[in-house]
Amino acid sequence: MPERKRLNKHHRTTPTLQDVAEHAGVSTATVSRYLANSELIREERRARIETSIKELGYIPHGAAQALASQRSRTIGVIVPTLDNAIFAKGVQAFQQRLQDSGYTLLIASSDYSPDEERTQGESLIARGVDGMMLIGLDHHDRLFERLRQMKLPYVNTWSYKETSDHPCVGFNNFQAAVRQTTYLLDIGHRRFGIISGLTRDNDRARDRLRGVLHTLTARGINVPDNLLYECPYDIASSRQAMKRLLAAGTPPTAVVCGNDVLAYGALLECQSGGKDVPGDISIAGFDDLPLSQHIRPSLTTMHVPSEEMGRKAADYLLACLNDETAPEQTELEVNLILRGSTAPPRM
């Protein structure tokens, strides 16, 4: 019988690191150093390696690169929720900046739970991320301990505190709420209702509520318990809160909402109940989501520079990873956007 030809199990259909080294006329160690940090290789050799990689169609093996460079070239981010568009825009800008520098993003969600955030953080660290972005200033102490233990750079976002012990890129939620409330006072409102996000374990919601109450108290205005509600960031919960505000013996002429989603619910409930906005009641939000300028009436709100925040947060982490100096705290400006949902109260 004719001898059967045996299949060579060692035959490779894709180019290897060795193939690139032979094609470029360098050692495999030189190619590995190039993949880890091309700036370490002399220009002439670097050009030959780049040409060989292109001509051979070589795709570097991520795990091998990680071992060679002590880097995974991945960054983790933990957001409170994937439902809020304000986080989506910021994370998208964060990812784009990282991608431009050759990094991949891993995203996790905590559902506003410090314990869940810690669990997700441990998972990202176990997967070898090189750094991490967090939302807000309230985080589990053990998460910070773990990040320091692993010598991983991290940055807090969406909040700013000059005296913070942790790096942050964000804005002063308290002062933004002061500005928002001052505007409503200055156009004549004296009866206020508040629909806040849940303040437990959420420094952003807590600081915004503090800013509103501080400003009103300074002007001699007290908000009774039946005109202040905390609720989850969803339209249905906000509608229920607004229904209770409207049912109060003396309903407010202005309602300050902890974010735009809460303001949408308040607006819908007013419209459902036959209340004119802003004729009978003014409503102000916070975040300036894309929808806010298109609803009717369009929403007065505080514009949060989420995309700029994402880019600057990425710049901070990249600077740390490249052993470059970067400011530990960066404060961004939040602007009051005046639209159709607010007006002076009817006399």
Cβ pair 24, 52 in contact under 8 A: yes
Instruction: Say how many CA atoms lie within 13 Å of 318 toward its Cβ.
Output: 18
Euclidean distance between CA atoms 268 and 219, whole angstroms: 30
pLDDT band for position 38 (50/70/90)? Answer: confident
Euclidean distance between CA atoms 327 and 64, whole angstroms: 33
pLDDT at 71 > cutoff 80: no
Q: Domain limits of the chain?
A: 17-69, 74-171+306-333, 173-304
255 phi and psi, to 5 degrees? -125, 125
Residues of the chain with pLDDT > 90, as a percent, come to 78
Extract the tokens encoding 152. 């991983």
Cβ burial, residue 151 (10 Å; 0-12/13-18/19+): exposed
Detail the DSSP E strand segments found in 55-191. Answer: 74-79, 104-109, 132-135, 154-157, 168-170
* Whole-number pLDDT of residue 83: 82
CATH of segment(s) 17-69: 1.10.260
pTM: 0.80
330 phi and psi, to 5 degrees? -130, 120
Chain centroid to CA 340: 28
Which range in 27-41, 47-61, 290-304 is most confidently predicted, on average pLDDT? 290-304
Compute the average pLDDT of residues 25-38: 82
Check whether the bond before 327 is cis (ω within 30° of 0). Answer: no
pLDDT at 212 > cutoff 90: yes
pLDDT at 92 > cutoff 90: yes
Euclidean distance between CA atoms 19 and 153, whole angstroms: 36
Class of domain 173-304: alpha beta
pLDDT at 36 > cutoff 90: no
Compute the average pLDDT of residues 99-112: 94
* Whole-number pLDDT of residue 292: 97
* Residue bearing the bigger pLDDT, 4 or 145: 145
Compute the average pLDDT of residues 25-36: 83
* Whole-number pLDDT of residue 61: 58
pLDDT at 317 > cutoff 60: yes
Task: Please give the span between the terminal C-alpha atoms of the chain, in angstroms, as a whole number.
Answer: 107
Euclidean distance between CA atoms 311 and 306, whole angstroms: 9
Report strand pairing: 301-303 vs 335-337.
antiparallel
231 phi and psi, to 5 degrees? -155, 160
Compute the average pLDDT of residues 260-266: 98
Euclidean distance between CA atoms 49 and 25, whole angstroms: 9
pLDDT at 151 > cutoff 50: yes
The answer for residues whose C-beta is within 8 angstroms of residue 188's C-beta and 6 or more apart is 344, 345
CA nearest to 288, candidates 205, 180, 129, 202: 180
Torsion sign across C-alpha atoms 201, 205, 211, 216:
negative
pLDDT at 238 > cutoff 60: yes
* Whole-number pLDDT of residue 33: 78
- CA distances (Å), origin 73, targets 30, 52, 79, 262: 20, 23, 20, 38
Fold observed for domain 74-171+306-333? Rossmann fold (3.40.50)
pLDDT band for position 26 (50/70/90)? Answer: very high
pLDDT at 62 > cutoff 70: no
Domains 74-171+306-333 and 173-304 share a fold: yes
Q: Which residue type is seen at 158?
A: W
* Whole-number pLDDT of residue 12: 45
pLDDT at 161 > cutoff 70: yes
CA nearest to 102, candidates 76, 72, 125, 132: 72
User: Over the chain, what is the mean pLDDT?
Assistant: 91
| pLDDT tens, position by position, 215-236 | 999 999 999 999 999 999 999 9
Chain centroid to CA 245: 31
pLDDT at 107 > cutoff 80: yes
pLDDT at 339 > cutoff 70: yes
Q: Which residue type is seen at 15?
A: P
